[in-house]
């Protein structure tokens, strides 16, 4: 493997290691916000999220099982309360 490709691979590996704890904190934040009744779109557009993750990483956060479970809980609660957030 040429040195530049090796260097790029190592750099990417190290970046991924650095991003994992950050991504975990973002997942925890999004889950907490959604469980507290905030809309998912609002939580994802929060500067706390946008200033820390690229769009690609935000998409990765959305595939996290904890985030999916929080969204499912929010949908279930909306159906139970018959409150879908529509305004007249």
Residue 44's nearest CA partner among 35, 33, 76 is 33
Measured between alpha carbons, how far is 88 from 82 in angstroms, rounded to an integer? Answer: 14
Asked if 34 and 70 count as a contact pair (C-beta separation under 8 A), the reply is yes
Residue 44's nearest CA partner among 25, 57, 30 is 30
Tokens read off for 44: 């994802």
pLDDT per residue rounded down to tens, the chain (88 residues): 456 777 777 666 666 655 578 888 888 898 889 888 888 889 999 999 999 888 888 888 888 888 888 888 888 887 887 766 655 5
Domain boundaries, the chain: 3-75
């Amino acid at each position: 493997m040429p040195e530049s490709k090796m260097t790029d691979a190592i750099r990417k590996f190290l970046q991924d290691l650095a991003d994992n704890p950050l991504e975990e904190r973002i997942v925890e934040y999004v889950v907490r916000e959604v469980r507290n009744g905030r809309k998912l779109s609002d939580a994802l557009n929060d500067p706390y999220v946008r200033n820390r993750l690229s769009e690609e990483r935000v998409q990765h956060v959305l595939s996290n099982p904890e985030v999916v479970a929080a969204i499912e809980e929010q949908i279930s609660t909306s159906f139970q309360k018959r409150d879908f957030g529509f305004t007249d």
